[in-house]
Structure 1
Amino acid sequence: MPYAVDFDTVSTAGLESSPVAPALAGLRANEARYFRNKYAHVFAVEPAGDAPEAVDWVHHILDAERGIVISSPALEATTFQVENIRMAYVFYRSGLSINVMYTVDDGGKRAVGFKLSDGMDVPDELASFKFARQRSKLAGTIRGSYFVIKNEY
């Protein structure tokens, strides 16, 4: 069952098996705050096993576009639409967060974003990407990268 992520009181619920659970929880809360402030959307996640469509969609795009297979198990996932943008998020035990931003209108922006929790090493499958740093009150230092989606999904 999906539950709303609280960005006022950061909780590691659902992420306890991650070695960087507090940082991953902060990263998840950071995303929740962004969607609340920008779109008035309540960011809700559920266990990855309960959201196979979201996980499969993200993994299919990664594999089809770049041949990337994530080795870490998925812990939580969500998919939703805000305005004309379909969004999907998957949070992994390693501390990785992957999101897909897919504008449903033809010619819109479509990209896959990677964010690494504070204290997480860059996974081997993402070693070719350059990561920029940003500070977050909720998540500490977030390192992020992305690539543009070229095909239709």
Structure 2
Amino acid sequence: MKVYAKIKTSQLIVKKMPYSDIVQKMILITEKILPLGSVVEVDIRELKLETEKPVSNIKAVIVDRFMKKETEKQYVPYCGIIYPFGDSKKQLFFTEQAIHTVIHYGYTDRQEDAYVALIKREIIKKGYSSYSFAEAEDDKIRMLQSDINL
């Protein structure tokens, strides 16, 4: 069984894969990736962060994308720092599902579009998947958070 998807000048051929893998790859191909510098409101309940005070959402500036540990085949779509503090030692890792609102859309141009397309191609080629589709996602994302105190 082969599944074909053609988007503008790119073509993806998927051979004998579980439907969940096909769906993941189709979502990756079609989803819009926020550019660096975007400011988003993140629902911390989605991140399963424990906070000292009751907080539902925080603002984060996206400073990195597509992070992956060397030993794993899964990546985290976004890394942000908490706005307005900007402490780069306290990074927040999150998936699309944790984004409640996009407050500011970062700078983008053709170079950005080409970079994102290249990264998406590499992710598919190497068989990586997003933590968005991880089975025990809560625990994995929680382990990635680095000493965030809100």
Q: TM-score, normalised by structure 1?
A: 0.29
Q: Answer 1 or 2: which has greater helix percent.
A: 2
Decide which structure has the larger Cα Rg and report it: 2
Q: Which structure has more RCO (C-alpha within 8 Å, separation ≥ 6)?
A: 2
